[in-house]
Each structure stands twice: as C-alpha cells, then as structure tokens.
Structure 1
Amino acid sequence: MTDATLPNHTIADHIRRTLTLAWPVMLSRLGLVGFATADVIVLGRAGAQELADYALGLAIYDSLMAAMAGLLLGVGVLTARETGAARDGAAGTILRRGILYGLLVGVGMGLLLQFAESGFLLLQQEPGQAASAAAVTRMVAFALPFFAVFFCCASWLEALHHPKVGMWAVALANISNLAFNILFVFVFDMGAVGAALATVLNSLLLAAGLWLYIHRIFPQRNRYGVGERNDAPPAIEQYRIGFGGGLSFTFEAGAFVMMTLFVGWLGTLALATHAVLFQLLATVFMAAFGIASAVQVRVGNAWGRGDARGMALAGWTGLGMCTAMLLVAMVAFLLLPLPALRLFTTDPAVLAAAAPVMIWMTLALLCDGNQTIMSHACRGRGDTWVPTALHLVSYWVVMVPAGYLFAIRWEHGVAGIYQGILVASIVSVTLMSLRFRVLTKRGV
C-alpha cells in the first residue's frame, strides 16, 4: 500500500490526510467558481442589466454542468477504489471511458442550450429579458464539452492523490479569464455575452492542458495504464455510478434553476441582487466541495482495501472540518457584509437590497456545504441511488415549494429564496448523515 491509502485511525491523522488532499482540490474548485466570480466582478461594473442577463443566462447552463459533473462521477469513485485495492492499471481505462462519455454528453447538452430562449419564455420570463439572457446561454453552452474533459482529468488525478496539477491549471486559467473578461466586456463592449465567451476559451485551455499533461508529462502514466486497455471494472458500473450522480446533481441544480426563475419574476434588481449573493455562497461552497471531494476519495480508498472503520472516520472527520471552515466564513460575512458584497458590485441599489439577506445566505451556506460532504461520503462508498432519492426529496419536494412560498406567496422577495434553500439543506444534511451512518455500520 502507498502512504495515501495505508490505514491509520487517529483523528489527527485523518485530519492531516484529508487536508493534504483537500486544500489543492479546494483551490481548484474555488478557481472554477473564480471564472464566475471574475464575470460578476466585471459585469457588476457594467450595470445591473448585465448582471441580470448573466444570472438568468447561466441558470440552465449551471444545472446542466452540474448534471454533467455527476454523470462523470464514476471516474473518481472507481479510480479511488481500484487503486486502493492495488489494481493501478485499471485507472487508464476508467479515464478513457470517462473522457469519451463526457464529450458525448457535453456536445448533446450544448446543442440543447441553443433553444434556451424558448425555455425562458415557457417559464414566463419577460420577453426582452429572455432574449438577452438566452444570448449568454447559447454562447456559454460551447464550454460544456471542454469542461467534461477537464472534470474527468481533474477527478482522475485527485483520486490518484495528485490534486495540485488541476489546482495550478485552474489558477493560470483564472488569470487569462480575467484578461478575456476585460477585453470582451469593456473593449469589445460585448457585455454578458463577452463574459460567456471568456468562459468558453478558458474551458478549452483547461481541457487541453490537463489532457496533454496526463498523456505526455505525468511521470506515472505507465503505472496507471494511460493509453492502454487494461482490465477494469465493467463500463456499466462506471456509468451506473455516474448516472446516479448525474440524476442527483440534476435534481439539486435544477431546483436551484427554479429558484433563479422565481427571482426573475421579481425583476431586474432582484436578479442582480441574487447574482451577487449566490456568487458569495457559491465561492465558499466550492471550498466545502473541495473537502467533499477529498472525503469521497478517502472513503473510496478505505472501501477498496476493506477498511470499514477508515470509511467512517474519513466521512465524519470531513464533516467536522467543513463545519469549522463554514462557521468562520459565516462570522466574516455577518460582521463585514458590505465589504464582502462590494467585491462583486458597486451598485448602491444592489448593495442595499443584498445586505439584509446576508443572514439567510450564510445559514443556508452552512447547511448546504455540510450536505455535500455527506453526499460525497455516501458516493465514495459506492452508494448510488439512495443519495439520488434523498436529493429529489430535499430539493424538489422541499426547496422549490418552500422557495415559492417564502419568496412569492409570502412576499419575502430574495430573502425567501435563501430561506427555502436553508430549509432544504437542513433536510438534506440530516438524511445524508443518517444514510452514511447506515452504510458504515453495514461495513464493506
């Protein structure tokens, strides 16, 4: 066994091992959100309408990208399990299948998004807003196949305990993304469409960079069977894990799309306010997602070597670490709400509307971040369908009706959206935690 998979059951050791894997993954995922962060920062200087176009234009795209990431989940889960069981050569086959599958899915989703305007109109968005937002959606859709390749390569390297490659790739891409944003939004005066074009170009650079690294530079590519056709788990198992993850992420992301559409009914200022608040939530959430990815790998390694106690400690340690991190973020946001909001906009009306909602956003962030830890812990154990069903209940049975009730019927406005997210996240983290406890009690 390698040091990365050798069992050790002290809490301190679990924290150390999780942090070693988690911090580059956290920075990598934060870097992906950094694309949208740069977009919002630049567009926040261009006006509320550009922010509104961006928020609505990326709503359906974001849900499909989340679904695509879920469909590719089998790459990381099976790579972690097979290498944890010392079957290293299977990793290359798992990666190749994932890339081909991801390209197919990404192209199909990109074609679907070319009809975004009809979808926005069907969902009762104002015609002018639907048209301008759909132009953003049609442009950013071209990024999906490239992000599919990136997700496969990054999750594969993370499962092999080489997360820093993806971290540095995303860091470099953020620099170019900011430059492209300034160029397209202000120099070429393309507005939110320009920000979408910057995302497409940077997703291409990320995909090409990681693919070339793995196939030409990665020093252990022969050990892990890159470019070879070695024995690996059946393809249907990889796709089954991904299909369950894809449905789960689709349920969650699709519910968030509905929440954004509810905000669209409230007007341009509400959309701009939601764009800023949700960007704050998403930025910190991706740090939690980084810990969750590390937890998934460590649970998968323990599962592969038949270590039931290691699985349990990997999951619960990750939950504690994430809770501590999110509490620090909550305190910072609540003590300094306006400085945090000014990172994304200088519009006085947007700042005034967003500040009172910060308390609900931070509470939602705490629970939503922790539910993703437990969801990934369950999936690291190979649990496919129960987490999917729990996400369906949490987000479509609970969050969407609650968001509509609070925001629209009870007229809480944007605050009602985050109240709905909070209620659903409490349900989700509770159910996922109970499910993980059942899995660890069952053993391997």
Structure 2
Amino acid sequence: MRLTMIGGGGFRTPLVHAALLRDREPGRVTSVALVDIDPDRLRTMARILAKQAEGVADAPTVTTHTDAAEGLRGADFVFSAIRVGGLQGRAHDELIGLSHGVIGQETVGFGGISYALRTLPTAMHLAELVKRVAPDAWVINFTNPAGLVTEAMARVLGSRVIGICDSPIGLARRALSALGLAVGPNVEADYAGLNHLGWLTRLRVDGVDRLPELLGRPDQIEAFEEGRLFGAEWIQTLGVLPNEYLHYYSYEREVLHSDQLASQTRGRYLLEQQTGFWADAGRAPDPLAVWEAARLDREATYMATNRDSVGMGERNADDLVSGGYENVAIALMRGIAYDEHSRLILNVPNAGTIAWLDDDAVVEVPCVVDATGAHPIPGAQVPDFGRGLVTTIKYVERETIEAGVGGSRAAALRALAHHPLIDSVKVAHALLDGARATFPELSYLY
C-alpha cells in the first residue's frame, strides 16, 4: 500500500512511522510520501524516519515532496494533518482570545473557530486535489478541528474521508488501566458526541460493563488523568466519563483564570520549543533522540493550565503514553483495504445514529470498518445533560463551515456569538475583527 501524508513534515509523523514499522502483517504499507510546504522540515523529518527505521527489515520507502499533486499520485490512503498559519497562528489566537476575556484554546471556542476559518479553504482545495489526482484514495483526517474539517471535506469526498482523534481511545485506555485492565479485542467502549466533545458511557469487557465498578470507586477514578481533572465527585454525579476537552466547559472560569496567570500561552510555549527542536534536529547526528526528548516534553506539559486550574500538579507517567491515534489509523486502513472488520471510534456522518442530529452531521461514535468504509454502530447515547451542548456546537460547526467555504462573515459572526464559551455578541464582533486584522488569509470573509 502507498500512504501519502499531507503535512508530513509535522511533529507527529514519527508516531505514524513507528506504527508502520511495527506492522508486519501481509499487505502493509510499503511506500510513504511526505508532503509539506517546508523543504527544510521535510529533509529533517526524512533523517528522523531513516534513523527510526535502522535495523528494520523491509521498512517502507520514504519520499519527500513539496508538490502535493506529485505526492498524491498512486496513493491508496491519504493522511491530512495540516496547520494553516503554523504555531504562530495558534499563539495569536490565544492572545486575541485572552485580550477579550475568553479562552483561546485551538479547538474549542474562539480559537477553534479562528483555526477552522484559516484551515477550511486549504482543506477544501486538498479535497478537490485528491478527487482529481487520487480519486480512489481514502482520506484519513487528523487536521483540527477534526470533526468540523471532516464534515466540510465530505462535501467533496463523500464517505471517502474519515476523521480520527486519539482522545476517546486514550480515555478508554486510562479507564481500563485504573481497573487493572488493558485494551484488547474483548473490550468495547461506547462513546458518543462530537470531536473533543463526547462521553464514554459504557466500557464492556467480555460483555460486562465495568464502568459502574469504576464509578463506584473514587480512588480508582482519581487514578487517571480525566478523573483528577474533573474530580471523582463530579464524575460520579455525571455517571459517565467526559472527554478531557469538556473541562473547558465545566470549569471555564477556572481555566480562563489559570490561562491569564500563565507566564506564556500553550501556543507560544510550543512555538519556542518547536523552533528550538527543528534547529537542533537539523544539525544533530541523532535527530530521533532530539525528537524523543521534545515529544516527552510536549506530553508532560499538555493541558498544563487546565491541571493548574484544579491543582492537579504534574502528569503521571502512565498519562504520558500517546493516545494511539496512529494505531487506530493503521487498523482503519487495514479494515478498508483488506476487509478486516474492526470496531473503532471515528468521526463519520451520523446516518441516524444520534436520533436528533441529521444524517450528514459528522459525529464521533463507535463504528464498524469494512471494505466499504466506516459505518456508525446504531445506539450511541449522548447523556441527556449533553444534548443541548452537542446541538449548539454542531450549529456552531455548521456556521463555521458556511463561513469557511462560502466566505460569509455573517456566518462567522453567528458561530462566534452562539458558542457557549463566548458570552457576548459585542465580544464576538471584537474577536472576529481581531482575527481578520491579524490573519491576512481571512480577507475572504465578506
């Protein structure tokens, strides 16, 4: 199989490559094309992957391309992981948000909408390019906000674009670990909602739901990250396990206060860290070791202000393990390419799964994967208390898509003004004006 990675010079590429190296099954990926607009990063990434592949027999061949059409030719699968505006854009979003008293995180609220408005024109161009150059390829979208971008690209690619996020499987893995269990073929996690806005509602092991057992033990709840982040009492009150990103909604005031007190935003921190990483890796004899050190630092400081807002302190060693999106991606590819049926939590069109959302709304739910694609499993249950939030955020996503695809400034304003983390129409106006003044690429909004 041939895999093309759009944004292949991105920091997480070695995670995917490591998973490809571990895959020794017949029909595995044998060719990887890295596509990126930055030739220097591509050269450094190729060196990192070469170091990673040392001693691995029959490692996939890796080629680099700055021409997307060239890199897409012959692709069976396409990973889309782009960041329009780079980390500088993320840092600007955070500062614009904080200057108006709102959270600026890159996938929720103002930050998510601004990021999407920068990204959607490029994502739609990519979808058209894939349709023209590699019409038989399947696109696996990692680009954030993942559900929103997947839904927009589906207008061009239909069911051949599927979104992936590692938050749900990471949550399930940590919950299982608190019970002394591990992810395996005997485990079925029931999860429902939207990307970065969902709940783990059941956790069946050998057909038995073990979630009530976990919810009955405060010590077990607070043995893993989400349990400490939300607190055992609140999780027991909910009766389900929330995705970590729901912390921005449940503790908005505390997170905003922590963000305001921080010496620098997460985006600024990553921008400085990544600038140093690329410089060091570009000249290091062992760029893989430089990457590993930077990756551990990123994981250790992940959602730091959220943890500070509730007094959590440092992350536990078990929480530093990657959520495993790269393994989900390989299982998805194999399921489609070789009809290897698997059960995965993915971002796909609703198709009646959540009864009160329309069929085309992209949701994050368990799916069965086969040669014809990913199919949501009927019966996904959003908790009653979450219905209003899911409905509102889906409206916000739709208005953001209308703005990003159609150039409607009014739609962008509606998205901002109706987001629960933005509490004033006047503030919504100011945020949009701030984004348009900061990002020349938003001049298409009229």
TM-score bracket, normalised by the shorter chain, equals: under 0.3
Report which of the two has the higher share of helix: 1
Higher relative CO (Cα under 8 Å, sequence separation at least 6) belongs to 1
* Length-normalised TM-score, structure 2: 0.27
TM-score, normalization by structure 1: 0.27
